[in-house]
Chain A
Amino acid sequence: MKNLITACIAFLAFTAMMHGQDYELGKNVENDVLLKQDLQFPEANAVVLYREVNVYLAREVQVYERIKIFNEEGYKHATVQIPYPDVKKVQGATYNMVDGELVKTKLDKDIIFTDEVIKGVKIKKFSFPNVSPGSVIELSYRTDKGTFSDIYLQYDIPIKKEKVSVFNGTGAGIEILQNPRAFLKVARRQEGKSTHFIANNVAALEHESYVYDMNVYRSFLKINVTSYGDDYKFNSWESLGGKVLSVDYFSMGMKGKKFYRDDIEAALNGEIDKLKKARIIYELLREKVKWNEKYGYIPDQSVRETYKTGEGALDDINILLVSMLDSEGIDAAPVLFSTKRNGIPLSASGSAFNGILASAVIGGKTYLFDAAHHNSTFDYVASHFLNWKGFRIFQDHSYDWVELINSNYSNKNVIGQVVIDEDLMVSGNLRERHTGYYSIGKEKQIKNLGENEMETILNYGADGFEAIEVKADNKKENIVDVSFEFEMDNAIDEIDGKLYFSPLLFTALSENPFQKEERKYSIDFEFLRKNQTMITIQIPEGYQVESLPEAIKFSLPDNMGSFIYRISSSGSNIQVQCAFQINMPLMPFDAHDSLKEFFKVRMDKETEKVVLSKV
């Protein structure tokens, strides 16, 4: 696919046009060297003062950067690895003030290293000479090939001003998109075949918790090719769908075939329920064909080849699944989708999608399947595949959009029996049942462990907690049962003859994951989740319950999540129950304050103490 694009471009003639660059090496550099601190970003160790990128599509890319180093911590930005291979005309210099005079040290050729990172790919690397606090460094270079790769608008240090121009003399149709998940104001101007972008004071990309991949939020420009002349247009979803359908491996692949029939019949063993049939076919395929870790939405081989060789890419495998379901009279169709890392498919282009799922309508309900990724099962498609919407293509060449969500909750249920003995030693046993995505995660942990490392699959970090005899049972699909016995020191505080302890013991939430003052990015809980814990505690002889925490129910706004805590006692037993639920897997960044409070309430309640006194 990628090759096709490159080939097409290479054949297209382009009208020559070279725009003059705006930068000038060394211009007005003195003021920049005198700069002591950036007013907008006073904490910055270094800033990019100016960055200019001129992209002549299919021809060359020119880059210019001027960087100010404020202190030693900023030195690492004086060491450069040019992101494009095989660049030429690398020019650079360091500027310093020495005894009131501007001193320029040129970047000599002999300190520029060419690292052939992989045979045939040469990357230039160097470190600027004579760098000290206050230095300004300047760099320009050209690539000898045009490129359609993403252009970063945001770095790990602030960018004061940047200008990106894209000149399209290729005759190919393009569109230039800004990453919709990044909050950057960019001025955009179209001028004939050129598009100019200007942005000022771009803050550094900050790293936060509960984010799938920080690069998803980086500001960048994406250049999509929408057409090559008249016969290859991508400017609408229909044309993209048409293009995909014109590939035989796709359009023929989605139909039922004969070559696997005997295997399916044998596996079905007379089963007639459609959902059960689907499950059996899915399992058969997983057994037969392994994923080669490659992505794609246009199959590179026939379904027969995939089946016979037992190996294929994501698209090869799932189109085969559609075919196999279709052969058994199940209403199946392929769904093009984009992984979380690939971004949201906002406009039709060659890189809008990077995978195929199989969908099936059974009993009026739509099911999504992935038979490739290790983290997918029949009931749960790998969570990073469930990204917004997918583009479903039917055999009759019609299409529609399907929501890519899994409406099943993933559960973690915990049941424990605890005894506090006369020496205030706490011991007991606990059973955890993980379902859905929780079970997939646990399964992955368990799969490659030896017997004696079993305790590492537990996620309890409480001090004094020690698990013994950890056992895991993952024989049932989408369910992992974990059970263990434990002892716990330091769980009980004896003060003035009274006993104080948190009845949830080591299962209590001990740290608030949301502690930052501010949040910029949305919060990704990945899937709908429900955690329930019930613990029964037998108190030591000679003691009685003096006080119990109060019951509570607390919800996030718009019912995005809830927390319930209940506790009761009878005779020598205390029973505590709590339930935590997330009803919206991806929350907007402005939910952060509510989440912070929500988790604080949850943590305070879960660590609240029961008091026992002597009878």
Chain B
Amino acid sequence: MKFILSVVLGVISTVGISQQMYDASEIPDELKENANSVIRNKDVSIEITTPKRLTMNYMVALTILNKNGNRHLNPSVPYDDVTKVKSAEARIYNAHGKEIEKFKKKDFMDVSAVSGGTLYSDNRMLVFDYTPVNYPYTIVFEYEIETGNTAHIPPFIPMGIYNSSVEQSQYTISYGDGVTIRQKFTDPKNEIVKNEQPGSIFLTAKNMKAINWESYSPGLDEHLPSSFFALDNFYLEGVAGGGTNWSEFGKWMETKLLQDTRDLSPATISKVKSLVANAATVEDKARIVYEYVQKNTRYISVQVGIGGWKPMNASEVDKLGYGDCKALTNYTQTLLQEVGVTSYYTVVFGDRQKRNIVPDFASLQGNHIILAVPDGDETHWLECTSQTVPFGFIANFTDDRDVLMVTPEGGKIAHTTAYPYNVNTLKTTGKCVVYEDGNIGVKVTLESGGTQYSNRHDVENMTKDEKDEYYKEYWDYVDNIKLKSVQLENNKQDVKLMEMVEFDARSYTSTAGENLIFPVNVLNRFTYIPKRYKDRKFPLFISRGFVDEDIVSIELPPGFTVSSLPEPIALETKFGMYTSELKETESGKYEYRRKFEIQEGEFPKEEYENYRKFMKKVAKHDNQKIILTKQ
């Protein structure tokens, strides 16, 4: 998606700085801690003389301490039809700051910048390729670009990644008389020094220590300083645009990017009308149209010029049977319009990690488009790029976040459907027969909903071999599984997936002398224990919760008994709960019941260790074993 690419765009100036020596031994020790690279100096200077002209001078001097730091440098200069690369150069220095290699502009490779998942785009970049022989080494990379796009201004984010510290980073933005600029400034720990003058803003940050990634932590951007900029009036691929608030910005999108793309042939219009002829409610109509789109289109991404922001015409999607997220959303919207159902083109950050459109800062944001269909008090959110997801189902990618809805009256911030823990269910109901030789035979039904449906429903599209691998991986603590049958029922109306699986496994039990050791939890064992942190820095953040319920009957081989039943377990914490119990139902037959619940939420960092303890206990109880003795 073009939005993403432009975020990478960053940069500029360099006066005399390359004279400086970059001796790696001069880096203060505290900046080496947890660091794979150190930004020795970064200097970005942006000049916007008119809403049609932006130049950027970018310079970064980055010392790479080890192999993991190599990916911290993006060795590319992005450009396109409205962006010119005026200069580009890279120099490599060894550990002592001696220059060992130099790339002039002509040494850069000119390649197309088509990112994964996109078929074609007109973005290009100049890249250089340096293979380090020794560490540490320093790269000084600088370039200058001039662009007619001012809709997206590279922001100041002195530290944007993990394990990279900052010695010094500065940013200057200067602008002409006809340019009105807005700023979104975030600096929770006062790390940025700001100097504002008429027509220019100067920002600088120094000595920021590298941050280690921690599991169950919120996104980095919530904790780090940043400054974003936007113009009240900008140009985007030759198209004038603007807006000082979301309402105006949305209005611009509607009139300049969307309005004239909603065309359909009379044949298609009459076809879609006949499809919904018998549908009574908004939901019924929308569902029929959505399923029609799913059946007749597929996702193909092509981004050329303004086409990176403006959808392909609905009639074109109709003709080709494919489009990107903008095109498919717009197509669905146009079809719905023809059958009298109102819907809104909606800009969102699509990501597993929940990320909001910044509500109080109207600017080009987001990386994905979905469709909002208001229906009384509720809204159906439609993911138009998938051939398989159920109507109105958006778990794990666009759920529970602020989005920009483009309505004829202008842009509005809305919030998408959340999937609280109690809808993210997995019910495991099964039977396990144990044989004297330690083998087992299993017949089980897994019923999933919510995010767990989302995690599992891909199994429907797998080949036999892939399914085989999938279930062996799912029950990876059971070795030597031989699948006998898999049957699936995908109820899209209620968003429930049923997986009926039968398998045998050799040597499930282990032996101790004459006895068999039998791990009681055969079908849903939780084995992941979160990593321990001596000095946790971030709060505990549980993005999505779930509820698992298991009922498994266990049949022992004839003549065997359980020497003693384990005590029932019941754990209750602020994060969730766990119960498990094994009961004898009749001679030689037992029933194992288990429930495990984790709720979403954010807790102070001190709670992380308690959460970890809870997980350890769950893992321990899930690993409960019993002794089967022969009479």
For B489-515 the 0/1 string (1 means CB < 8 A from A) is 000000000000000001100111100
Q: Please judge, given known A-B contacts A72-B298, A206-B465, whether A493 and B119 are in contact too, CB under 8 Å.
A: no
Would A448 and B66 count as touching, CB distance under 8 A? yes
Q: Which residue of B lies closest to A126 (CB)?
A: B119
Given A43-B463, A125-B119, A603-B479, the answer on whether A546 and B513 have CB atoms closer than 8 Å is: yes
> CA of A493 to CA of B532 in the docked complex: distance in angstroms?
23
Q: Answer yes or no: B256 CB below 8 A from chain A CBs.
A: no
Measured between alpha carbons, how far is A615 from B302 in the docked complex, in Å? 75
Contact B110 A463 (CB under 8 A): no
Once the chains bind, are A117 and B111 in contact (CB under 8 Å)? yes
CB-CB under 8 A from B529, the residues of chain A are 463-464, 489
* B135, A129: Cβ atoms closer than 8 Å: no
Cross-chain contact B67 with A129 (CB below 8 angstroms): no
CB distance from A160 to the nearest CB of B (A): 18
Across the interface, which residues of A come within 8 angstroms of B463, CB to CB?
A: 43, 45
B104 within 8 A of A: no
Contact A495 B625 (CB under 8 A): yes
Interface residues of A in 273-303 (CB under 8 A from B): 290, 293
Q: Whole-angstrom distance from the CB of B28 to the nearest CB of chain A?
A: 16
Return chain A residues, CB-CB under 8 Å to B479: 511-512, 515, 600, 603
A132 to chain B, nearest CB (A): 7
Chain A residues 72 to 103 lying within 8 A of chain B, measured CB to CB, are: 72-73, 75, 78-79
Q: Which of B119, B464, B513 is most buried by chain A, counting CB atoms within 10 A of its CB?
A: B119
Cα A613 to Cα B480 with chains together (Å): 31
Compute how far the CA of A600 lies from the CA of B510 in the bound complex, rounded to whole angstroms: 12
B300 close to chain A: CB less than 8 A: yes
Residues B65 and A450 in contact, CB atoms below 8 Å apart: yes
**CB-defined interface of A103-122 with B at 8 Å, one 1/0 digit per residue?**
00000000101011111000
Is A15 interfacial (CB-CB < 8 Å)?
no
A569 to B295, CA, bound (A): 68
Closest-CB distance, B468 to chain A (whole angstroms): 8
Known: A206-B465, A515-B472, A600-B480. A290 touches B133 (CB 8 A): yes
- By a CB distance below 8 angstroms, the chain B residues around A450 are 34-36, 65-66
Assess the A116–B619 pair: CB atoms within 8 A.
no
Of B187-195, B318-326, B348-356, B446-454, the stretch lying at the interface with chain A is B318-326
**Distance between Cα atoms of A607 and B511 in the complex (Å):** 9
Q: Is B388 close to A, CB under 8 A?
A: yes
Asked whether A604 is an interface residue with its Cβ less than 8 Å from the other chain, the reply is yes
Whether A609 contacts B510 in the complex (CB less than 8 A), given A126-B119, A131-B321, A490-B619, comes out as yes
Residues of A within 8 A of B624 (CB): 493
Give the distance to chain A from B35, nearest Cβ to Cβ, in Å.
Answer: 8
Cβ contacts under 8 Å, B476 to chain A: 511
Contacts of B388 in A (CB 8 A): 72
Cβ-neighbour of B119 out of A113, A449, A495, A547 (below 8 A) = A113
A466 CB-CB contact with B under 8 Å = yes
Q: How large is the interface on B (under 10, 10 to 19, 20 to 34, 35 or more residues)?
A: 35 or more
Closest A residue to B126 by beta carbon equals A119
CB < 8 Å: which of B320, B472, B517, B625 contacts A111? B320
Task: Indicate which residue in B112, B320, B387, B507 contacts A72 across the interface (CB closer than 8 Å).
Answer: B387
Known: A489-B616, A611-B512. A115 touches B112 (CB 8 A): yes
Given the interface pairs A132-B295, A547-B512, A608-B511, the reply to whether A115 lies near B114 with Cβ below 8 Å is yes
Q: Mark B572-611, 1 if CB is under 8 A from A, else 0.
A: 0000000000000000000000000000000000000000
The answer to whether B20 has its CB under 8 Å from any CB of chain A is no
- Distance (whole angstroms) from the CB of A515 to the closest CB of chain B: 6
Query: Is B341 part of the contact surface with A, judged by Cβ < 8 Å?
Result: no
| C-alpha gap A132/B321 in the complex (Å) | 8
- B212 to chain A: which residues have CB within 8 Å? 452
Could you tell me if B619 and A463 are in contact, using CB atoms closer than 8 angstroms?
yes
Interface residues of A (CB under 8 A from B): 43, 45, 72-73, 75, 78-79, 111, 113, 115-119, 125-127, 129-132, 206, 290, 293, 447-450, 452, 463-464, 466, 489-490, 493, 495-496, 498, 500, 502, 511-512, 515, 517, 546-547, 600, 603-604, 607-611
8 CB contacts below 8 A, A to B, read A78-B298, A129-B322, A206-B465, A290-B133, A450-B36, A464-B620, A600-B480, A607-B510
Which 4 residue pairs across A and B have the least CB separation, nearest first? A448-B67, A113-B120, A119-B110, A547-B513
